[in-house]
Amino acid sequence: MIVTSQLFDIHDRCPRRLALERTHEPLTISATGLLYAGIEGGIIGADPCVSALDSIRAITSRFDVQSGDLAPISVVRHVGFMAEVISLALIRKFGRFSRIANTVFGSHEWQSNLFERKNGDLHRIFLVSYLDDDSLRSFAHSWGTVGELAALERDVTLTAVVIGAQRAGRRHSHWSRCFQHPVQKSALRFASRKRDDGFTKGWREVWREMTDISAATWLDKMGTDDVLPDLIQSRRVPYRPDDYRMVKAREDMFKIIPQMESASIDDPMRRSSCDEVGRGACVWQRLCWSPTPVELDDLDYLFRERATE
């Protein structure tokens, strides 16, 4: 069995969902999921901007985008332009990343969700609306970190990218929005540099996807206004083989794997995970929360069988 930290996380939240996702997948993807896909493609590709957009095109050829208040094409464009800048920023800060080859985990195969730098450092890259001690602790204690530490037996660096709150279909963040001089269009500001520096109310708020400003220029201006340190933050989590928490995590993982293998769509719902704060509504609600009995085959306009390899 190929196991991942994501499978442990899904099982913790709802074994029923794990069983459903083993055989089927939604026909849609969220804007955040699309952004993850773009960034993941961007940081491992030859050109971060081109690779980010290529990844997004590949995903949107297979999935419809949950667009909310905006037209789907507007969401895709907004996300694509953000993915370009974020990918480029990560490459400039850390260098190019690569995926990790699968490793043996007991009698199973571990498929890591981490990214590796040329110097061997492993990074877990995650997107957050904001970052505080509680959210950082939550990521550090989750399967996405603990599972990787226990399975790979290597240090992991948590790298948070703050993408701002989503309102009216867009992420309100320096990655996507700035102020433009009313006359000199090449003059961009993300923050006031000093008092009376000409940054007045006359400056117009613009979204990058509504301009012809390149990702490199946009990122350069962000650096000039010194907003990047707050938007990309990293914390290293060391692996220590004598740490009882790691010993216990491995022990728990080998106990949980048989439970994951036996997960069934007939398992009871875990209602606390149907609408989790920060995660949104579970994609399987139309099945689990249907007021009348319904089968997956009745919802073929929402879900499809996973392709078998």
Say if CB 20 and CB 260 are below 8 A apart: no
197-209, pLDDT tens digit by residue? 566 677 888 999 9
* Cα 100 from Cα 97, distance rounded (Å): 10
Q: Which of 79, 234, 282 is nearest to 166 (CA)?
A: 79
202-248, pLDDT tens digit by residue? 788 899 999 999 999 999 999 998 999 999 999 999 999 999 999 99
Quick check: 81 pLDDT over 70? Answer: yes
Burial readout 72-108 (b: 16 or more C-beta within 10 A, e: otherwise): eebbbbbbbbbbbbbbbbbbeebeebeebeeeebeeb
Q: How many CB atoms lie within 10 A of CB 59?
A: 19
Quick check: 77 pLDDT over 70? Answer: yes
Helices and strands, number each (H, E), in the chain = 11, 19
Q: Which of 46, 131, 164, 22 is nearest to 97 (CA)?
A: 46
Say if CB 213 and CB 175 are below 8 A apart: no
In this prediction the pTM is: 0.93
Q: Which of 164, 146, 162 is nearest to 154 (CA)?
A: 146
Structure tokens at 114: 């981490």
Q: DSSP 3-state assignment of 142? A: coil
* Cα 64 from Cα 215, distance rounded (Å): 25
Quick check: 309 pLDDT over 60? Answer: no
Structure tokens at 47: 């050109």
244-294, pLDDT tens digit by residue? 999 999 999 999 999 999 999 999 999 999 998 767 789 999 999 999 999
**Which residue intervals of the chain are DSSP H helices?**
5-13, 15-23, 31-44, 48-60, 72-94, 133-141, 143-152, 215-224, 228-231, 244-261, 285-288
* Cα 69 from Cα 167, distance rounded (Å): 9
Say if CB 178 and CB 188 are below 8 A apart: yes
When the pLDDT of each residue in the chain is averaged and rounded to a whole number, the result is: 92
Domain containing 142: what range? 2-305
The pLDDT-based confidence of 189 (bands split at 50, 70, 90) is confident
pLDDT at 196: 52
Task: Count up the domains in the chain and report the number.
Answer: 1
- Beta bridge partner(s), residue 28: 64
* Cα 227 from Cα 153, distance rounded (Å): 34
